[in-house]
A = this chain, B = another copy of it.
Amino acid sequence: MWKPDRHSRQPLYEQIADHIEQRIAYGEFPPGSLLPSERKLAAELGVNRSTVIMAFDELRATGIVERRTGSGTRVSTTKWEIAPKHTPNWKRYAQGGQFLPNLPFMRKIREALTRDPSLIDFASGELAADLAPINEIAALMSEHRYTSYLGYDNPQGYIPLRQALVSYLAEHRNIRATEASILVTSGSQQSLYLITQCLLSPGDAVAIEDPSYCYSLPMFQSAGLRLFRLPVDPYGVHPEDVRALYKKHRIKMVFTNPNFHNPTGTVLAAERRKQLLEAASELALPIVEDDPFSLTAYEGTPPSPLKSMDEIGSVLYIGSFSKIAASGLRIGWMVAPREIAERLADARQQMDFGLSVIPQQVAAQFLSSSYFAPHLKRLRMQLLFKRDLLVEALNKELPDLIRFAVPSGGLHLWCKLVPEIHDGRLLEEGIRRGVVFVPGSVYGSDSGFVRFTFARARTEDIPAGVAKFAEALRAAIGG
């Protein structure tokens, strides 16, 4: 006789509901007939009576059975007699799988922006239309004729783009990569996803920064990883913390965003970079360096990546066009040992069969074009200008209520709120007044922080956006 499977991920009551539904569907219990009593079924199946009651409740909710007090549970006549047709229980399917939903605050912000595109956007971590090289890309696309064969692309990515990236990495990031060690990805996001899904196994321990890039958190959790935190201070993470986590939890990998860290804007200090690499090589521990922001350095040379100092090959390096050109291109790259790049490319075939050729062509052309260097220069100047506007407005509107360090690169400014505040309440007050920003708790930190992205809002909107935020903050304190 059938028994529920106690090792299954599916709750017992759901298994029982499914099972009864199946017996009804097969005519064992015809429409109108009485089902066995809860007590009897519980004994038969070896479960608590309360479990059977939950199963019956579930069946009742979908109209498959009816219960009347005192007269037991019967198979519905209406549902089954006239039209024995059932839409799949999509709600339950939507709960399947390993993917946790993304963060509720991020969905709330997205929904608010969709409802009202006139909101001043300090939340989306990307460049405004006037910072992105839209005209340059349009010009390139009209200069070139896209007549090459559009078949399935090379699994590691379009070869001319990988060649252009070899030069780019040598020139801008002091990284000596080869075509074979590069994997082109759908942004840094896909690089991180491939690493967590294909190189780590559920239950593995990894170290991540506290706070951390917010979309990586559900991704790590979906992969079943055990997360341990490396607090970020004004000089970045502590290499000693990495050793301690290794000792204690046998961490398998370290994820870091050392150059203009998201959300704090921190740059990992030079001495700590050396120590971190030493720890990695002593412990044979891979470091994932997520580096989307370094070329935004407003003044002076961008920080040197860990990868440029990585003598023995401990570092998987991740780059992206999203924060220096356009996030909607979805072009990123990873530099990895050849066997890793090949492994990840092979696994990706199962996920999406590789990237579209056209944006890879556009990216290759842009990187090799005379538009690239002037674009970067202009981008840095404009980001600096926007940052200054934001800092000025914050100092003017909220001199005593917030504290922040002024970032020297990146798209974001990270604020500590002096008053104790409820994150969600603050966001709602902001949306009501026409401004969105990201509550700090989204990044895995304590609440009481806010991330302002100054790259996305229109320059002229920045002062008004801060004024609205100030009002929202005062309202949230008052409330």
Contacts and interface: CB of A to CB of B under 8 A. Distances in A.
Contact of A283 (B25, B101, B187): B25
A352 to B, nearest CB: 4
A284 interface: yes
Given A187-B352, A347-B99, A88 B286 contact: yes
A75 B354 CA distance: 44
A383 to B, nearest CB: 16
A185 B87 CA distance: 24
Number of this chain's copies in the complex: 2
A250 interface: yes
A313 B187 contact: no
A150 B137 contact: yes
Contacts of A204: 96
A357 B339 contact: no
Contacts of A189: 349-353
Most B Cβ at <10 Å: residue of A142, A199, A313: A199
Contacts of A81: none
Contacts of A127: 151
A396 B311 CA distance: 61
B352 A328 contact: no
Contacts of A252: 93
Contact of A88 (B145, B285, B311): B285
A197 B328 contact: no
A329 B358 contact: yes
Nearest to A197: B97
Nearest to A158: B328
A353 B330 contact: yes
Secondary structure type dominating chain A contacts: loop
A94 B282 contact: no
A342 to B, nearest CB: 8
Nearest to A140: B146
A86 B352 contact: no
B146 A126 contact: no
A96 B200 contact: yes
A1 interface: no
A215 B353 contact: yes
Interface in A286-319: 286, 311-314
A339 B94 contact: yes
B329 A96 contact: no
Contacts of A405: none
Contacts of A282: 25, 84-86
Contact of A186 (B87, B187, B352): B352
Interface in A1-26: 8-10, 18, 21-22, 25-26
Interface in A190-207: 190, 193, 197-204
A134 interface: yes
A199 B88 CA distance: 12
A86 B407 CA distance: 35
A280 B87 CA distance: 8
A69 interface: no
A201 B202 CA distance: 14
A61 interface: no
A45 interface: no
B91 A339 contact: yes
A190 to B, nearest CB: 4
A94 B138 CA distance: 40
A199 B102 contact: no
A101 B200 CA distance: 15
A127 B149 CA distance: 10
Nearest to A216: B350
Given A138-B146, A314-B88, A347 B190 contact: no
Interface string A150-190: 11110100000000000000000000000000000111011
8 contacts: A25-B282, A126-B152, A132-B149, A132-B150, A134-B148, A153-B328, A189-B350, A193-B351
